[in-house]
Amino acid sequence: MEVKFTNEILLIFALNYKSMKTFLTLSLQFLITSYLWAQSPLGIPYQAVMRNADGSIMASNAVELTFMIHDGSATGTVVYQESHSLTSNSLGLVSCVVGNGVVSQGNFANVNWGSGAKFLHVMMGTTDLGTQQMLSVPYTLYTAEVPLRVSPVGDSLIIGNDVTIVPGISVANFPSVLGCTDNAACNYNSSATQSNNSCLYQNAICDDGNAATINDVINSSCVCAGFVAVNGCTNPQACNYNPAANVDNGSCLVQGNSCNDNNAGTINDVINSSCQCAGTPSNTGATLLPGNATCSAQVISVTGCGGQTSLTYDGLTYDLVQIGGQCWFADNLATDQYRNGDLIASGLTNTNWSNTSSGAYHIYANSLSNDATYGKLYNWFAVTDTRGLCPTGWHVPTDCEWMYLENALGINVSDQVLTDTWVRGTDQGGRLKSTTLWDAPNLGANNNTGFSALGGGYRWINGTGGFLNSLGYWWTSTSPTSANAWYRVMGANYATINRISGAKRAGFSVRCVRD
């Protein structure tokens, strides 16, 4: 290491002491950025390596040191005295600044350095370690810039071209201790002698490496941590406001605001008092569900299929069926892209499926044969994505459009609004179910409507799947709460249709209905 000093005074003091129990190597370097020796230094850095008599390092020992400055001679008047309570580190090193200790006599700032020689007297407890004159070396004895370095080994101090042997000063006696050296940091290491750029500062921005957290900062425990992101509506004025949400996902609905209910048979669509987007009928191809208070403002398209029996979308052909004036897909949807051509996410792990709040689909058991027969299982975020899941002129049916279908098959008004029960209607599920590809007994199945419902199973919110050929699940586009949406269930052991509100992260089948 080489150091250059300009317009400075270098004070070097070395003291060696041996006893039967300990060997101390003490080295002191004091740098005064001043032109005159008469100016008082603010403190004298002091370091000592504690060693036993056999030369081994005394690590982690408590040490009481007393410093006295004598005026004129080694036995002259004590003009200043202080003490330090120190503990050696793992390398036997103790450090302090003479002038910053517990003062018992005098004032360090008032020491008159320009009035004669000064002698430093050091004691460890009651043991006198000796007294040594403090020598100044003005820079003017050398060039304007004097190189100074310490030898790696051999205890040599080199000033300019002069070499002085100072026992214990070798770099080898002072190995570096890496750590944070800034005492303003929460992970400050008082034993560190060299910074390793590891300092952490409370409230500083950081990255905790967790994609599920936001606003990461160094906390009061000196750890980088953030808050778990909760997606939802953060607008208190919205009817679907979620007080637990800290990340707005654009889902807010404010009553009275304009919207699009994706129903071509309506106009003046707004968010209504039920926090749903709905309009008023615009032509004779639309009607209200008679007697159903839940759907009193929901307009149902009954334009029919107009004689059309099939439709090709995204390279796949779907049969069409007309029931009660509505035109439905007679197959489960199997597209892998939105209406605008954007691909829908797929291949998600169980963990990613459970955590996502974006549109995604799954193929049951990742089987292409299942995909061709039962279609894909979509989460609700894909169902309501603004890019559209169904082809142009079609949409995912609302809860009320499913009720209209059920009404057309004979489910009375009081049963239509029942939830989470198989005692809902009589044989309407059997009339919609295919007569094949269901487990026995496939109760009541006759498919006299041509709807051809299949038991496509599900992918649950934890990512696991089940119930192929035993149960079939179909999404609606209606969401009664921020976390749940309505869906329908048909089963091999039931002839009825169940209506349930469940988590939007589940993967269910989808049927499209004409606008």
pLDDT tens per residue across span 153-184: 666 777 767 777 766 666 566 667 889 999 99
* Per-residue pLDDT, 142: 35
pLDDT tens per residue across span 8-28: 333 333 333 333 333 343 433
Tokens of 42: 């603010």
Is the pTM higher than 0.85? The answer reads: no
Strands, DSSP E only, in 361-425? 361-362, 377-378, 394-395
CB-based contacts of 403, cutoff 8 Å, min separation 6: 289, 292, 294, 295, 411, 416, 417
CA distance to 191, 199, 201, 203, 229, per residue, from 222 (Å): 18, 10, 7, 9, 21
Instruction: Collapse the DSSP code of 470 into the 3-class scheme (helix H, G, I; strand E, B; otherwise coil) and give the result.
Output: coil
Look at the block and give the residue holding tokens 């007994």: 441
Least Cα distance to 55 among 192, 176, 173, 175 occurs for 173
* Per-residue pLDDT, 369: 97
Buried b (16+ CB within 10 A) or exposed e, 450-464: bbbbbbbbbbbbebe
Q: Is 402 in contact with 417 (CB distance < 8 Å)? A: no
Return averaged pLDDT per consecutive 10 residues of the chain, 515 residues in all: 32 34 38 34 76 78 91 93 92 87 92 84 86 61 50 69 68 74 92 88 92 89 90 93 91 91 75 84 67 85 90 97 95 97 97 97 97 98 97 96 95 95 96 98 97 98 97 97 97 98 98 96
Instruction: Collapse the DSSP code of 415 into the 3-class scheme (helix H, G, I; strand E, B; otherwise coil) and give the result.
Output: helix
